[in-house]
Structure 1
């Protein structure tokens, strides 16, 4: 009976070690992906109040230019057309209605279980500044 209890403890210990190793790899991979992407939204801060004329100045840059072709931009959960312009991504023909909006720029991870890199801002569009 004593040997059976030791074997059960050993199996549990090995199982926990494997779970720890896998979860550590996922967390480190997520952090590396997010840091590598380094998304920055230019022309828009969280809580900003903008006129419609200022919206075309919004762009997205990244710490790693190679991810710019994979940047997705959503406003209020709707995908916005973008264009790569050198080392940034700009919005194409986008003019939001007056009121509050949520801007999300993200790069989806190509690796399963690794978090997407993303930056999100709330903003308001007004008629006049």
Structure 2
């Protein structure tokens, strides 16, 4: 004959079910947020080596242009001013030094625990010879 589950086993099963449900909600919510933002960096490829003259051609776009009002752009962990030009953001007055840099464009998720939508590109500025 089979023994009935003990109370502690039932509590553990309920706890695990709740943890799974919350985790699934966080993951699904994060994926939906990231997909809706659809951020793209244009004018520079990840890993590119360019001169400083290429920087004005860098822009950030989003599938939903309304998202651009919430985009934050950082280069080497410092917030960079942007200018909205219709359906894109351009870097305003950014003059990079020679060397390696990382550009990060992100939209913070308004819901706690959910991931930010972001796109990141590493690039190198070299002198024009």
Encode CA deviations 1:46-99: one digit per residue, 9 max, x unaligned. Answer: 110111111000000011212101111111111100011111111101110111
The 5-angstrom pairing of residues 85-124 of structure 1 reads 85-124=85-124
* TM-score calculated relative to the size of structure 1: 0.93
What's the TM-score once normalised by structure 2's chain length? 0.93
- Aligned partner of 1:27 in structure 2 is 27
Q: What is the number of residues matched between the two proteins?
A: 127
RMSD across aligned positions (CA): 1.3
1:46 aligns with 2:46: yes
Q: Which runs of 5 or more residues in structure 1 are unaligned?
A: none
Match of 2:62 in 1: 62
Alpha-carbon distance, 1:104 to partner: 0.6
Unmatched 5+ residue regions in structure 2? Answer: none
1:21-61 deviations in Å (ceiling 9; x for gaps): 11100000000001110110000111101111110000000
Distance in 2 (CA, whole Å) between partners of 1:73 and 1:93 is 13
> In structure 1, the residue corresponding to 2:6 is in which secondary structure?
helix
